[in-house]
Chain A
Amino acid sequence: MQTRVRPALLLVILAVLTLLAFCVALAVGSVPRPPGKVIAALAGGGDALTRTLVLELRLPRAVTAFSVGGLLALAGALMQVLLRNPLADPYILGVSGGAAVGALLSLLLGLAGYWVSGSAFIGALISMLIVFVLAHGRGGWTPTRLLLTGIVVAFGWSAAISLLLVLSDNASLRGMLFWLMGDLAYRSSGWLALIVLAAGLVVCLPFARHLNVLARGETLAEALGVAVRPFSIAIYIAASLFTAVAVTEAGAIGFVGLVIPHLLRLVSGSDHRLLLPGAVLAGGSLLMLADTLARTVIAPEQLPAGVVTAAIGVPVFLYLLNRARGPL
């Protein structure tokens, strides 16, 4: 890319975008509220209806959407460096498959609420552990071995998902499908995910230059002073945990984790010190906007947020890809 938006400027733009998306997510809904009343409600005043709508329904949902989008984008950026593969996404190593199997099992048993998210998280952890242990073959922990192990485990999970869908009755099938497509309704307050996201970014940012070095290749990174093996294991664990939290909160929302890091690479280059916070802001605002659309387009019915992220993201990404000069 010959032209690059100045780095600081890009982060400012993304921060403004995030703020706008946040305001839209609070102000827009099936019951429209004027901006003045929304601000009053946020400040602690306003009428009861607006307060309930904004503080109890829309705010937690916006926070969840932002955190999940941010976590997925962050995990995607990390996975791409870990595997040195631009096609890597947070789900590629099977974390979401494990979570899905956990969630669907609990739905099949007629459980709801925290049981579902709890079993999703446990499923994600089990999958993460399986891939981690199996990828330690005799030949060591190479990206290719990790990738193949993850993909095969993910295949296993997806077969199990199909089996569970076939076994389930019609009543629970709809809930299962929504879970699989990614959906932010009926979720927790989102603050936990936001804390994980903030902590994750704080932990990852100081290592962003190490990520730049590792992105250039494993042996080169080792030769330039990065302890590659412990660092790779740390990236794997961090990315998997972020994914597990995101999937537990909102199901397997696709697209954000693959495309947001890419989009940032297209626009701002490959310095992870900008890419990581940029991806968090962009991923978070994309999912907030997508979720706002998802709950308003055919209100009072809701669309799965995953469908809307794709509907917004696919054209934007294709436009940028098409516009990018030179090969990628």
Chain B
Amino acid sequence: MNTPLLETRGLSVTIAGKSVCRNLELQLQPGDCLALLGPNGAGKTTLLHTLAGLRTPAQGEVLVDGTPIQKLSRRCIAQRLGLLMQQPEDSLPATALETALIGRHPHIDFWRWESHSDVNLARRALKLVGLDGLEQRVQSQLSGGERRRLDIATILTQDPQILLLDEPAHQLDLHYQLALLAHFRHLARELGHSVVMSLHDVNLAARFCSQVLLLFGAGETFAGTTDKLNSELLSRLYHTPVTAVRAMGGTVFLPG
């Protein structure tokens, strides 16, 4: 078996004295698309940030291409691994094109400027998320959903092998939820990327992801292929009754 793109060995993560996961063994091969599910505050963001090397785990280690992540420079990590953050941070104004181009930063040598091919990559990403024509807008002139798509365009411009996506469907309308998640699945299946995405919509996870990792809170986790999802598991996960319904040639989960 090949070296996994992203791997955890005995990973234990805690935040503010609360356990997120214990002894997590995770192996992501090219083509894998993993959904991270869990109730609010279970630690999905914390786990993603740990996988991105932005937090040190309580125990165990994260490996990128077989190398422990703390042995890699930030730049080296950023060439292989991208993180879509859940919330935008305070920032100074910049246009959509400038923002997307920022994604090329880890790939461009220290003294060089963005080349034409970098700009083309950014333009293509903006087109893919439906922001072509808005390239010169600054963020404050974009709607919430458009800003979210701009963040997605930035990570697509970065073009990492490993994509860690914190609620990529958040703020997107139905069309873009389906189109962009389908694109991430395409990146995994066809182009051999590995994708981890935290989601709140179980049905999106069931439809677009090959594996799931459930965070129950208090360190309990469940990992498996997507077909292992069932109503008991999900009811226990969300502390809410969930019913599985056969529809549209698959299983759909409904609350209640």
Contact = CB atoms under 8 A, between A and B. Distances in A.
Interface of A: 1-2, 80-81, 84-86, 143, 206, 209-210, 212-213, 215-220, 222-227, 265, 269-271, 273, 326-328
Contact of B105 (A86, A226, A265): A226
A139 to B, nearest CB: 12
Interface stretch (B121-129, B136-144, B229-237): B136-144
B138 A223 contact: no
B74 A222 contact: yes
A327 B102 contact: no
A327 B106 CA distance: 30
Contacts of A327: 138, 140-141
Interface string B102-138: 1101101011010000000000000000000000101
Nearest to A225: B78
Given A206-B110, A212-B98, A327-B140, A224 B90 contact: no
B83 A81 contact: no
A41 B91 CA distance: 50
Nearest to A222: B54
B152 to A, nearest CB: 13
A268 to B, nearest CB: 12
Q: Which 5 A-B pairs have the closest CB atoms?
A: A217-B89, A225-B78, A225-B106, A225-B75, A223-B83
B54 A265 contact: no
17 contacts: A1-B138, A210-B105, A212-B102, A216-B89, A219-B49, A219-B89, A220-B102, A222-B54, A223-B54, A224-B103, A224-B105, A225-B78, A265-B92, A270-B94, A270-B98, A326-B138, A326-B141
B70 interface: no
Q: Place the interface of chain B in its size category.
A: 35 or more
Contacts of B110: 206
Which of B49, B94, B103, B141 has most chain A Cβ within 10 Å? B94
Contacts of A85: 90
Nearest to A326: B141
A273 B78 contact: no
B242 interface: no
A84 B91 contact: yes
Nearest to B108: A209
Contacts of B76: 225
Nearest to A261: B92
Nearest to A228: B74
Contacts of A218: 89
B64 interface: no
A216 B140 contact: no
A216 B138 contact: no
A80 B91 CA distance: 10
B52 A223 contact: yes
A298 to B, nearest CB: 40
B198 interface: no
A219 B45 CA distance: 13
Contacts of B138: 1, 326-328
B93 A225 contact: no
B92 A224 contact: no
B99 interface: yes
A84 to B, nearest CB: 5
Nearest to A218: B89
B168 interface: no
B158 A224 contact: yes
B83 A225 contact: no
Contact of A219 (B78, B85, B95, B158): B85
A213 B102 contact: yes
Given A209-B105, A218-B89, A224-B78, 8 more contacts: A84-B91, A216-B94, A216-B99, A217-B88, A220-B89, A223-B85, A225-B79, A270-B94
A270 B136 CA distance: 12
Contacts of A86: 92-93
B92 A80 contact: yes
A122 to B, nearest CB: 33
A84 B90 contact: yes
Contact of B85 (A80, A213, A220, A271): A220
B105 A328 contact: no
B77 interface: yes
B76 to A, nearest CB: 8
B126 to A, nearest CB: 16
B74 A225 contact: yes
Contacts of A220: 85, 89, 102
